């Protein structure tokens, strides 16, 4: 069995990046103007995620019958669609994959802190995520895609939430891990509010030495800031186009 050098002594990662480099990040908003109120497409390296947002509306389509709307804010419902072709091993995921359910709960919590709740009492917001290809950074891609789609849907947010995963190779933190690295190393995913140092999201499913965590997070925050810039750029481009059309 051949194993790869995940981080060579020369300081290069398995795909040729250095430790503090993000993968190629591309995003678009308003990709599906007719299908939803807000939509976005996010590509981080080879991970590709599509997000559609419907709402705010009076009845959520995804909501279970009898769910009461909340007078203090919107009811978020999150649906993740992870087709078999998206990952390397074509395996069918069960309907209620525990991991995806957990992720959707985490994302809901994160965005309930980001949406300006008081504007959306007694409404429902449906978020649909579709994974087109996955090469690491699942949660981070979701988070970034939702942020953009919510912005596209015109839902008022306090700020961007940009997310990225950071892993640890021996003593070296690695920014924005791909699937190969994620398989082998411990990592933490963090989501940062705008340009601040506030974390709106952290998820670590592996063991990590506690004394390294701070270093990972500080590297992650810088990565998130950079992602936020890129997303902001794209939002402004889309905004510009909208203006032109009107």
For other proteins, the binding residues (CB under 8 A) are 1-3, 5-12, 15-25, 45-46, 88-89, 133, 135, 169-173, 178, 180, 183-186, 206-207, 215, 218-219, 222-223, 226
Work out how close the CB of 12 gets to other proteins at its nearest, in angstroms, rounded to a whole number: 5
**Residue 210, φ and ψ in degrees, nearest 5:** -65, -35
Q: Which is nearer to other proteins, 63 or 199 (CB)?
A: 199
Give CA–CA dist 40/129, Å, rounded: 10
| DSSP bridge pairs for 126 | 54, 77
Work out how close the CB of 46 gets to other proteins at its nearest, in angstroms, rounded to a whole number: 5
212-243 burial: b if 16+ Cβ within 10 Å, else e = bbeebbebbbbbbbbbbebbeebbeebeeeee
Query: What is the Cβ-side half-sphere exposure of residue 49, based on CA atoms within 13 angstroms?
Result: 29
Contact 165, 206 (CB under 8 A): no
Written as six digits, the tokens of 33 are: 């103007």
| DSSP bridge pairs for 128 | 52, 79
Work out how close the CB of 24 gets to other proteins at its nearest, in angstroms, rounded to a whole number: 4
Work out how close the CB of 236 gets to other proteins at its nearest, in angstroms, rounded to a whole number: 18
Work out how close the CB of 55 gets to other proteins at its nearest, in angstroms, rounded to a whole number: 33
Q: Which is nearer to other proteins, 58 or 214 (CB)?
A: 214
Q: Which is nearer to other proteins, 124 or 219 (CB)?
A: 219
Q: Which is nearer to other proteins, 2 or 246 (CB)?
A: 2
| DSSP bridge pairs for 157 | 115
State how far the alpha carbon of 75 is from the alpha carbons of 37, 56, 114, 120, in Å: 16, 9, 13, 9
Work out how close the CB of 104 gets to other proteins at its nearest, in angstroms, rounded to a whole number: 24
Q: Which is nearer to other proteins, 14 or 69 (CB)?
A: 14
Q: Which is nearer to other proteins, 119 or 183 (CB)?
A: 183
């Amino acid at each position: 069995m051949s194993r790869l050098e995940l981080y060579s002594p020369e300081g290069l990662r398995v795909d040729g990046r250095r430790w503090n480099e993000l993968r190629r990040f591309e995003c678009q908003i308003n990709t599906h103007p007719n299908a939803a109120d807000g939509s976005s497409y996010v590509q981080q390296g080879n991970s590709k995620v599509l997000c559609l947002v419907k709402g705010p509306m009076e009845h959520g389509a995804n909501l279970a019958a009898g769910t009461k709307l909340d007078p203090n804010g919107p009811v978020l419902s999150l649906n993740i669609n992870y087709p078999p072709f998206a990952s390397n091993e074509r395996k069918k995921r069960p309907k209620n994959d525990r991991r995806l359910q957990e992720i959707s709960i985490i994302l809901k919590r994160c965005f309930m802190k980001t949406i300006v709740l008081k504007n959306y009492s007694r409404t429902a917001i449906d978020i649909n995520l579709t994974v087109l290809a996955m090469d690491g950074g699942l949660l981070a891609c979701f988070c970034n895609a939702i942020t953009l789609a919510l912005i596209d849907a015109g839902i008022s947010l306090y700020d961007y939430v940009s997310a990225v995963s950071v892993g640890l190779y021996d003593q070296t933190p690695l920014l924005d891990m791909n699937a190969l690295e994620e398989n082998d190393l411990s990592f933490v995913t963090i989501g940062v509010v705008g340009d601040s140092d506030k974390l709106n999201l952290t998820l670590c499913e592996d063991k990590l030495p506690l004394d390294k965590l701070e270093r990972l997070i500080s590297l992650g925050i810088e990565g998130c800031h950079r992602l936020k810039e890129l997303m902001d750029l794209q939002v402004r481009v889309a905004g510009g186009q909208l203006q032109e059309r009107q």
